[in-house]
């Protein structure tokens, strides 16, 4: 069909009104995208930062060794 003599001189094309969006719609999308980008920027700028690690400190207590566990997992008591 593409090689038939009747179709060789014809060109198919869509009218310009169908191939491009109206300028108002494009402007609306740009405004919406700008608002979303601005909202994200403000949210990231003023969001609280939880980068500090919170530690609880306990007082040091000296005690004696009650049990000694070796690397093999065998438990031996040292009392005496």
Dump pLDDT digits (tens) for 52-80.
777 788 888 888 888 877 776 566 666 55
- Residue 4 in any domain: the answer is no
- Residue 71 in any domain: the answer is no
pTM beyond cutoff 0.85:
no
As a whole number, mean pLDDT of residues 20-41 equals 89
Map residue 30 onto helix, strand or coil. helix
Instruction: Give the domain extent around 35.
Output: 19-48
- Overall domain count for the chain: 1
The pLDDT score that the predictor gives to residue 34 is 97
- Residue 56 in any domain: the answer is no
- Residue 77 in any domain: the answer is no
As a whole number, mean pLDDT of residues 11-32 equals 81
The pLDDT score that the predictor gives to residue 19 is 75
CB atoms within 10 A of CB 64: 6
């Amino acid at each position: 069909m593409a090689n038939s003599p009747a179709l060789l001189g014809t060109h198919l094309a869509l009218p310009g009104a169908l191939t491009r969006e109206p300028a108002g719609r494009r402007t609306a999308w740009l405004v919406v995208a700008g608002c979303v980008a601005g909202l994200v920027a403000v949210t990231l700028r003023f969001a609280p930062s939880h980068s500090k690690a919170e530690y609880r400190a306990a007082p040091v207590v000296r005690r004696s060794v009650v049990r000694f566990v070796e690397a093999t997992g065998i438990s031996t008591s040292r009392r005496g």
